[in-house]
Amino acid sequence: MSSEASKIERTVVVGAGLMGAGLAVIMARGGCQVRLLDVSDAVLERGLERVRENLYLLVDLGKLPEQGLLPILSRITATTSPSLAAEGAQFVMEAATENLPLKQALFEEWDRLAPPETILATNSTGFSVDDVAEKTWHPERVVGSHFFTPHLVMPLVEVGCGSYTSGQVVETTVALWERCGKQTVVCRKNLKGFLVNRLQAALAREAMSLLQSGAASASDIERATRLGLGLRLPLWGMLEQRDWSGLDVHYHGMASVYPTLENSKVPLPVLAERVARGQTGVKAGKGFFDWTGKDIESVRKRKHRQLLELIATVERLMADEDELVEAH
């Protein structure tokens, strides 16, 4: 672990919502003192309730012994005062509402409040590191740290660079997340969506295009994604799979397929129309599928458990894996 990361003790999580409450637990589990910051006492109260729910969930899932709960909880405090939270802060993790002017104002404020060596990280999904750091004087200390829900159990964190992020900041951030029990990948360019959301967006756009064109039903697209593509992915990612099937095969086959792939620069009508009529998915009872009459909480819980089983299997399989050596 980088020696700088091992020295990180005092941290701040900005935003005590869905992501912030989980991040507080992840960081406190990694041994950090966490100050959870939000705009009102009422929101913070709900945030701390979420922290406790997260901890009980970990106990429930067998990921945390019950006696481990209180020491973690005792490392998390809450405040509505940014200047109080900033005192001695070494690492600030922003998980506030996904709104660019708000994030830019927050980073401008934290750039002023926090000591110059403090790392400022963003969990933003859709904005790049340069976007959120635009109003800071020290963009070299701003870095992306993108988590995936359910972030308590998902192993990966993407550490994303802005155009000015320093190598030392990236190294310390990677080491901090590893200390918190996460695996990391680094996106070396200032990109919206880092790595995973870009790959996901390309696939989702094609899935929606297939649905829109009537090529297949939503159910068949779902089965094709899970059983045809998804099942192989933990063992062979997008690039290694091509090595096994032969780059020449991909080259010649895809030269014919690529020109026919969806490449729309705006959301497709099949998505836009559903959003316009409030058909936004599970939360609305309807999205691409009909969720009315389903016990959503029990489905969510079952999927959580199944995901944990999958993660355990994938980690076991990956432990046997030969290390990949990159060719140039």
14 binds ligand NAD, rule: CB under 6 A: yes
95 binds ligand NAD, rule: CB under 6 A: yes
Sign of CA dihedral 314, 231, 123, 186: positive
Q: Least distance from C-beta 265 to ligand NAD, angstroms?
A: 21
In the chain, the amino acid numbered 83 is S
Stretch of residues binding ligand NAD (CB under 6 A), selected from 13-21, 228-236, 267-275, 288-296 = 13-21
Nearer residue to ligand NAD within complex by CB, 68 or 150: 150
78 binds ligand NAD, rule: CB under 6 A: no
CA distance linking residue 29 with residue 109, whole number of Å: 27
Structure tokens given for 45: 């109260």
11 binds ligand NAD, rule: CB under 6 A: no
CA distance linking residue 183 with residue 83, whole number of Å: 32
- Is 195 within 8 Å of 148 (Cβ atoms)? no
- Is 183 within 8 Å of 156 (Cβ atoms)? yes
96 binds ligand NAD, rule: CB under 6 A: yes
Residues 218-257 that bind ligand NAD (CB under 6 A): none
83 binds ligand NAD, rule: CB under 6 A: no
For ligand NAD, which residue has the nearest CB?
Answer: 17
193 binds ligand NAD, rule: CB under 6 A: no
39 binds ligand NAD, rule: CB under 6 A: yes
CA distance linking residue 5 with residue 121, whole number of Å: 14
Residues 127-156 that bind ligand NAD (CB under 6 A): 147, 149
Stretch of residues binding ligand NAD (CB under 6 A), selected from 122-130, 231-239, 283-291, 308-316 = 122-130
Number of C-beta neighbours around residue 2 at 10 A: 17
18 binds ligand NAD, rule: CB under 6 A: yes
- List, in sequence order, the alpha helices (H) in the chain: 3-6, 18-29, 41-60, 69-74, 82-86, 100-113, 129-133, 167-179, 196-213, 218-223, 238-245, 247-257, 269-276, 296-319
Q: Least distance from C-beta 256 to ligand NAD, angstroms?
A: 36
Per CB under 6 A, residues contacting ligand NAD are 14-20, 37-39, 43, 95-98, 102, 106, 123-125, 147, 149
